[in-house]
Amino acid sequence: MTAARNPMQPLYDKLAEVGFKKKLVQQLLPDWWDDKIASTPSGYQSAAMRLAKLFSLRYSSLTDNGAAEFALAGRCFKRQVNIDIGSLDQASALASLAARLTIRSLEGDFVPPPPSGASIRESILHRGLRWVDFKALVDYCWGIGIPVIHCPNLPAPKMQGLAHELEDRPSIVLTSGRKYGYLVFDLAHELGHIALGHVRNTGWVLDEKINTAHVDSAAGQLDIEAEANKFAIELLTGNGNTNFVSRVSLTGEQLARSALEFGRQTKIDPMHIALNYAFAHKRMPVGNTAINQLVKILGITENDQDTCLNEYLRYVDTEGLDDDERTIRQLIGAISA
- Interval 80-103 mean pLDDT: 80
pLDDT digits (tens, 9 = 90+) for 151-173: 998 888 888 899 999 888 999 99
Are 54 and 138 members of one domain?
no
Are 18 and 166 members of one domain?
no
3-state SS of 61-77? Answer: HHHCCCCCCECCCCCCE
Q: Write down the pLDDT at residue 276.
A: 95
pLDDT digits (tens, 9 = 90+) for 258-315: 999 999 999 999 999 999 999 999 999 999 999 999 999 999 999 999 999 999 999 9
15-20-24-29 Cα dihedral, nearest 10 degrees:
-40
Is pLDDT of 185 > 90? Answer: yes
Are 154 and 236 members of one domain?
yes
pLDDT digits (tens, 9 = 90+) for 195-228: 999 987 667 887 877 654 333 434 433 588 899 9
User: Which residue has better confidence, 72 or 335?
Assistant: 72
Q: Which of these ranges, 101-105, 136-140, 189-193, has the smallest mean pLDDT?
A: 101-105
Q: Write down the pLDDT at residue 22.
A: 92
Q: Would strands 148-150 and 161-166 be described as parallel, antiparallel, or unpaired?
A: unpaired
Are 179 and 42 members of one domain?
no
287 domain-assigned: no
Task: Tell me how far apart the alpha carbons of residues 304 and 138 are, in angstroms, rounded to a whole number.
Answer: 10
Percent of the chain clearing pLDDT 70 (strictly above): 90
User: Which residue has better confidence, 141 or 199?
Assistant: 141
Q: Write down the pLDDT at residue 84.
A: 65
pLDDT digits (tens, 9 = 90+) for 14-24: 999 998 999 98
Q: Write down the pLDDT at residue 337.
A: 53
315 domain-assigned: no
Q: Write down the pLDDT at residue 264.
A: 97
Reported as a pLDDT band with limits 50, 70 and 90, residue 137 is very high
Q: Which of these ranges, 127-131, 148-152, 184-188, 196-200, has the smallest mean pLDDT?
A: 196-200
Number of separate domains in the chain? 2
**Preceding amide of 157 cis, omega within 30:** yes
Which of 30, 50, 71 finishes a domain? 71
Beta strands in the chain (DSSP E): 148-150, 161-166, 169-174, 204-207
Are 81 and 219 members of one domain?
yes
Residue-range definition of the domain harbouring residue 145: 73-242+330-337
Contact assessment for residue 95 and residue 74, using Cβ atoms and an 8 Å cutoff: no
Which of 36, 53, 71 finishes a domain? 71
Q: Write down the pLDDT at residue 218.
A: 41
Helix (H, G, I), strand (E, B) or coil at 268: coil
